[in-house]
């Protein structure tokens, strides 16, 4: 099952975030991944990490994974969100970019059996990232830095 994690880089405290209809989330100021392939990157950062999960896991203490957000009908290793999860993830990303003093987040996925393990891809604007996501160019087991407009 995949993990999806977002880091609001440099964010000093957990921002006020809404509850979403399509997924659950947990936020922490200690940047510890639930799976770990990008933990070396997280060790070099400060901020707030938000872990996404299936909505039915919201009140549970067990596993924390996000398979129900993914459109598994898409080809192979592509990250594609089901609707309305796609809009909710975009909203959460936008809020975390705003909460970051650097106006930058990381977007990372980790799924066993898909692609290279722990591939860092680079930095994109928010619009560029959404274009790649919608165009089927974001793969599992990648970490992207996504920046907004400085303000």
Q: What is the pLDDT of residues 4-47, one digit of tens each?
A: 999 999 999 999 999 999 999 999 999 999 888 999 999 999 99
H, E, C per residue of the chain: CCEEEEEEECCCCCCCCCCCCCEEEEEECCCCCCCCCCHHHHHCCCEEEEEEEEHHHCCCCCCCCCHHHECCCCCCCECCECCCHHHHHHHHHHHHHHHCCCCEEEEEEECCCCCCCCEEEEEEEHHHHHHHHHCCCCECCEEEEEECCCC
Question: What pLDDT sits at residue 77?
Answer: 83
Whole-angstrom Cα distance, residue 123 to residue 24? 26
pTM for the complete prediction? 0.94
- Average pLDDT per consecutive 10 residues, the chain (151 residues; last block may be shorter): 94 98 96 91 97 90 84 83 95 98 96 77 96 93 90 49
Looking at the structure of the chain, the number of domains it has is 1
Question: What pLDDT sits at residue 115?
Answer: 66
Question: What pLDDT sits at residue 80?
Answer: 93
C-beta separation of 90 from 130 below 8 A: yes
Domain that holds residue 123: 3-147
């Amino acid at each position: 099952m995949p993990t999806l994690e977002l880091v609001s880089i440099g964010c000093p405290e957990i921002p006020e975030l809404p509850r979403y209809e399509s997924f659950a989330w947990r936020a922490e100021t200690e940047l510890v991944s639930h799976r770990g392939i990008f933990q070396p990157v997280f060790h070099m950062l400060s901020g707030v990490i938000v872990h996404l999960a299936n909505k039915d896991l919201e009140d549970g203490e067990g596993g924390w994974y996000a398979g129900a957000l993914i459109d598994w009908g898409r080809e192979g290793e592509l990250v594609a969100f089901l609707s309305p999860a796609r809009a909710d993830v975009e909203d959460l990303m936008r809020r975390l970019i705003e909460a970051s003093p650097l106006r930058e987040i990381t977007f990372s996925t980790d799924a066993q059996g898909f692609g290279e393990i722990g591939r860092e891809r680079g930095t994109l604007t928010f619009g560029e990232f959404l274009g790649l996501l919608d165009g089927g160019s974001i793969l599992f087991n990648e970490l992207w830095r996504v920046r907004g407009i400085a303000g």
